Amino acid sequence: MNYLFTSESVSEGHPDKVADQISDALLDEFLAYDSNSKVACETLVTTGQVVLAGEVKSDAYVDLMDVARRVINRIGYTKSAYKFDGDSCGVFSAIHEQSADINRGVEREDEMNQGAGDQGMMFGYASNETDNYMPLSLDLSHLLLIELAAIRREGKEMTYLRPDSKSQVTIEYNEDNVPVRVHTIVISTQHDEFIVPTEQTHEAQMVADEKMLSIIFEDVKNILIPRVIAKLPERLKALFDDKLILHVNPTGKFVIGGPHGDTGLTGRKIIVDTYGGKGGHGGGAFSGKDPSKVDRSAAYAARHIAKNLVAAGVSDEVLVQVSYAIGVAQPVSIYVNTYGKSHVALSDAEIASRIGAIFDMRPKAIEKRLKLRNPIYEETAAYGHMGRKPCTVVKTFSSKYFPKPVVREVELFTWEKLDYVDAVKEAFGL
């Protein structure tokens, strides 16, 4: 019997994602001026207010307020009508120095023996159902909102769009766990009140709201979804049919949104950030944390392992778990689940035992292998940390506290590179 699986995504303007992006922008700023910075910063956003909190150990001095305002404006909160905009919101900082007890447990005379910044377990997942080895339901959820944001910034169609939005995609699978069709799409998007009631009555307001909803529904159906489908490979285009169920702004009007409509906090979208409910998650958030925190770096490394194992043909689907003890360099455990889809004559335990010989999972080795001591994190903080396209970019950081801008060429999403496929094939005789 066929079954359904669902994932969701949220836009860069969702309040939790606004918080994530501010936290990661602050991290980037510290790393740009001091690559050895230790950072764990959290952000709260609400009506007209940003609160920054956390711990930092760095030789750099960062204008926290300026960074937060830049991010908010870049996202698109630039109008007072939103009750939250980059130029006028208050920014309060409660960031202080990192605990010496934690730092003592992490740093070592030999940097390669650097201990894990915390205990915990991290997961990496990959599947060959999409070209980027991600679950299809999550991949489409992200693509819908990336395209919606592109339409908003172009300003030619759907000109009523505001920054806050959410998506949800349900995929129908057959008994062989193969996607057969896109079953349901849900889009909720914040918008201007672009149709006003003819008179100040409840009935007139309902009529105006229904007209707005009708226009938004038709635009999502006839503009957004066709633009997304056009960018898909043929095998995925074929999954869309006339039986698709589409829900747009199911509650009706969505004018009040963003941090004014809902308080946002760093780290509240960990499933959106990873695999949309497929695989597993250890519970640790990513944004605002430097790579000594294995919540982040080891999760990236586990994704790197899983993706390269699938790409090398070890299995059609792989889940990798790694765990650490705070202050200890070597992982406590490595676990692999191939869901019965392995193509090698080895048990999952035997596959796990070979991973350590291919991938050095000590925290400092992960930092070096994936080049994580660079300002690469603001780009990760919306539309998922996994499944993104690795690329090299030039980033410029300017501060009134430094005489010259810092220009850095950095690699983004290094954990998505398929640079270990040959080593995996050799290790598994493929």
116 to each of 5, 40, 120, 290, how far by Cα in Å?
35, 14, 10, 12
What pLDDT, on a 0 to 100 scale, did the predictor assign at position 8?
Answer: 98
DSSP sequence for 174-185: -TTS-EEEEEEE
Average pLDDT over residues 167-191: 96
What share of the chain has pLDDT > 90, as a percent?
Answer: 81
> Angle at CA 16, nearest 5°, toward 13 and 22?
80
Is 416 annotated as belonging to a binding site?
no
What pLDDT score was predicted for residue 263? 95
Question: Quick one: fold of 120-127+291-428?
Answer: GMP Synthetase; Chain A, domain 3 (3.30.300)
pLDDT of residue 32: 95
Q: Is 419 labelled as part of a ligand binding site?
A: no
Beta-bridge partners for 170 = 6, 184
Q: How remote is the C-alpha of 154 from its chain's centroid?
A: 23
**Looking at residue 106, what is its pLDDT?**
62
Of the two residues 109 and 185, the one the predictor is more confident about is: 185
Q: Is 119 annotated as a binding residue?
A: no
Contacts of 75 (CB under 8 A, 6+ apart): 12, 13, 18, 21, 163
| Run of H or E residues at 350 | helix 348-358
pLDDT of residue 400: 81
Q: Is 42 one of the annotated binding-site residues?
A: yes
Q: Is 273 annotated as a binding residue?
A: no
Looking at residue 81, the DSSP 8-state letter turns out to be G
Here the tokens at position 331 are 């992982």
Residue 268 marked ligand-binding? yes
Is 154 marked as binding a ligand?
Answer: no
Q: Where are the domains of the chain?
A: 3-7+137-257, 120-127+291-428
Q: What's the confidence (pLDDT) of residue 407?
A: 93
- Span 221-279, pLDDT tens digits: 999 999 999 999 999 999 999 999 999 999 888 888 889 989 999 999 999 999 999 98
The CA distances from residue 165 to 22, 249, 252, 256, 257, in Å, are 18, 10, 14, 11, 9
Q: Taking a C-beta distance cutoff of 8 angstroms, is the pair 72, 82 a contact? A: no
Q: Measured between alpha carbons, how far is 321 from 124 in angstroms, rounded to an integer?
A: 6
To the question of whether residue 278 is assigned a binding role by annotation, the answer is no
Higher pLDDT, 111 or 36: 36
Span 310-319, mean pLDDT? 97
| 16 known ligand binder | yes
pLDDT band at 103 (very low <50, low <70, confident <90, very high): low
183: annotated binding-site residue? no
Neighbours of 269 (CB within 10 A): 24
The better pLDDT of the pair 165, 204 is held by 165
Please work out, in degrees rounded to the nearest 5, the angle formed at the alpha carbon of residue 154 by the alpha carbons of 148 and 155.
95
- 389 known ligand binder: no
Q: State yes or no: 165 annotated in a binding site.
A: yes
Alpha-carbon distance 290 to 269, whole Å?
18
User: Alpha-carbon dihedral of residues 274, 280, 285, 286, nearest 10 degrees?
Assistant: -50
**Does the annotation list 341 as a binding residue?**
no
Least confident of 109-123, 144-158, 403-417: 109-123
Does domain 3-7+137-257 fall under CATH 3.30.300.10? My reply is: yes
Least confident of 72-76, 103-107, 370-374: 103-107
| Distance, C-alpha 36 to centroid of its chain | 24
